[in-house]
Structure 1
Amino acid sequence: MLIGICGGICAGKHAIAEYLIREQGFELLQLANKNPLPITNELRDPARLEKSETKSLPSHKDETVFETVDSLLDFVTKRWTEHWVTTDIWDHTTLDRLLLRPFFLLVSVDAPVSLRWQRFRDRCSRQQLDPPDLEKFVMWNDRHLYDREIGRAYLTDRAQVRLFNASSSLEELHAALKRLDLSNDERLRPTWDQYFMQLASLAAQRSNCMKRRVGCVIVRDRRVISTGYNGTPRNITNCNEGGFKIAQVGISEVVYSKGYNMDKESAEILSAAGIHLRQFSPVRSNERYVANPR
């Protein structure tokens, strides 16, 4: 598995990478060309300071620094069962190359701009540089996210997992990362339940029901037999006349995603017909937490 981390200035990319390295046995991978397009021309440029922060991450192998993203991918492909992490994702070309591989997971992290400004001030202090005022930082942040050449918003929008790092507490960040369980292999390849539920969600988009869109997939021996969505089909016996389709056609198990206001009655009918009912529990795709009030 290779986890790539992207996000805004001081959103928490390096804190997440450090947790994965120290607590879950990941190894850091780096690109030699850290950031070809700086945000400003000043010494306290966020990109320059971010490069110095990357050097502080625990890594001791020269072989984990690569000249190109392709050489990095060649390295990981031979060791895809091991755990790797990188924060060196700077443009859509690099990201496109990474997303082609089945072992890659993109994680984005974000935080309130006021909190990120304070973190940047702390970073400047560590480098013995004068920090910017909030207005200048906001201008840098806007260019970092939305500039046509270096904007990162395009990258964060494509993340499979999103983390909202709205706390100043590392303990809370680590607890959120533990709940997310980023190293779970199910994030790379969906389970059968995830796979079929995603097909059902896609089918639901065809529904024109005014109250609730519902999709379904009928499966036998892990092969899709049919898909459908809620509506009023022709030539079907009404429910009040005994036309509970599911119970009549020999289906043995129903897996559902979200509850409905007729759950109890439906469950009783399915149980009487000998049909197993089970709710789908996917892995978390985002995590949100806030700073404790003071």
Structure 2
Amino acid sequence: MFIGIIGTPCSGKHTVAGWLVKEHNFKALSLCESKHDDFHPLIFTSAENLLLYVTENWDDNFVTCDIDSEEILASYRRRPFFLLIAVDGPVMLRYERYRNRKCKLEKPLQSLEQFIESNDYSVFQYSSKSPSHSPSLSSSLYNMTSTSDLTIVNTFHELSCFYSHLAALEITNNERLRPMWDSYFMYMADLAAKRSNCMKRRVGCILVRNHRVVATGYNGTPIGLKNCNEGGCPKCNLGSNCGDKSDSCLCLHAEENALLEAGRARVGEESILYCNT
């Protein structure tokens, strides 16, 4: 597993990396000299070299916090063993961590306003000092965070509580990289539901036999009738309660549509129906 961690300033991304190193024997990788000496990371001169090393040793576990562009992220994303984690937290709590860190190092402090300004530039590439500048969200932390596989919100004041939270998330579970069959088909059922035109609720269904999709279905009016969301079903469009005037409802269930699509011969024995109701 190769985990990349991104996050807002003082959100705790290096804390997560350190926890993976200490608790799960991950090896830290970096594109520059690390300030976290306890990591003892391997240093690489480029993201390409780092990725080559990870690929050649793909059955080991690695973690890096050095992802500062979408280009680097896209190259890592091509590998099936890569997982992206985004870490965030309340601004005031992150500023408190920043102050405590700087005070321990006896270094000059930014004001809260300066910290927020730095945060806005880091996340959105926006600066109030250059309001006419149009930020490029395509390469911003905000855009990369929106594609993360897991988002961790660090609202903890004590490290022990944060570590307990990380353990509960089961970050290293391989199903995060490749879902098991049941999870996979339920994801497909959720996707099928997005095609629903029923005004009451969205439901998707996947009919599976021997791990092969036989048919998909979603609820809505039958073929040849006006879609429910276009007024095709009077009951659904009147907002009637479930069970009321059910004999006047024209919408078919997602399961019905999937079975109709498949037909008796294709369904056969030992078929499984996945539905997101």
Relative to the length of structure 2, the TM-score reads: 0.76
Q: C-alpha separation between the residues in 2 aligned to 1:128 and 1:2?
A: 35
Give the conservation status (yes or no) of the 8 Å contact 1:14–1:57: no
Following TM superposition, by how much is the alpha carbon of 1:126 offset from its aligned partner in structure 2, in angstroms? 2.7
Give the conservation status (yes or no) of the 8 Å contact 2:208–2:273: no
Following TM superposition, by how much is the alpha carbon of 1:250 offset from its aligned partner in structure 2, in angstroms? 5.5
**Structure 2 counterpart of 1:140:** 118
Following TM superposition, by how much is the alpha carbon of 1:14 offset from its aligned partner in structure 2, in angstroms? 0.7
**Structure 2 counterpart of 1:291:** none
Q: C-alpha separation between the residues in 1 aligned to 2:157 and 2:64?
A: 23
Q: C-alpha separation between the residues in 1 aligned to 2:213 and 2:274?
A: 14
Which amino acid in structure 1 is aligned with residue 176 of structure 2? Answer: R
Q: C-alpha separation between the residues in 2 aligned to 1:233 and 1:256?
A: 19
Distance change >3 Å, CA 115–CA 251, structure 1 → 2: farther
- CA deviation string 1:148-180 (max 9, x = no partner): 367311221110101110111112211111111
Which amino acid in structure 2 is aligned with residue 56 of structure 1? Answer: D
Distance change >3 Å, CA 256–CA 225, structure 1 → 2: closer
Aligned match of 2:169 in 156, 165, 180? 180
1:105 aligns with 2:94: no
Relative to the length of structure 1, the TM-score reads: 0.72
- CA deviation string 1:104-155 (max 9, x = no partner): 0000010000000011112212321121121111111111111136731122
**Structure 2 counterpart of 1:56:** 37
**Structure 2 counterpart of 1:208:** 197
- CA deviation string 1:58-80 (max 9, x = no partner): 22x6xx21111111111111211
Give the conservation status (yes or no) of the 8 Å contact 1:12–1:165: yes
Q: Percent identity?
A: 39
1:66 aligns with 2:55: no
**Structure 1 counterpart of 2:100:** 122
Q: Secondary structure at the match of 1:29?
A: strand
Q: Secondary structure at the match of 2:21?
A: helix
1:83 aligns with 2:72: no
**Structure 2 counterpart of 1:25:** 25
Distance change >3 Å, CA 255–CA 151, structure 1 → 2: closer
Following TM superposition, by how much is the alpha carbon of 1:257 offset from its aligned partner in structure 2, in angstroms? 4.2
Q: Secondary structure at the match of 1:167?
A: coil
Gaps of at least 5 residues in structure 1 are 35-50, 259-294
**Structure 2 counterpart of 1:10:** 10
**Structure 2 counterpart of 1:44:** none
**Structure 2 counterpart of 1:232:** 221
Gaps of at least 5 residues in structure 2 are 126-134, 225-245, 248-252
Following TM superposition, by how much is the alpha carbon of 1:57 offset from its aligned partner in structure 2, in angstroms? 3.6
Give the conservation status (yes or no) of the 8 Å contact 1:107–1:162: yes
Q: C-alpha separation between the residues in 2 aligned to 1:16 and 1:57?
A: 13
Cα RMSD, aligned residues only = 2.5
Q: C-alpha separation between the residues in 1 aligned to 2:276 and 2:220?
A: 18
Q: Secondary structure at the match of 1:232?
A: coil
1:162 aligns with 2:162: no
1:220 aligns with 2:198: no
Aligned residue pair count: 231
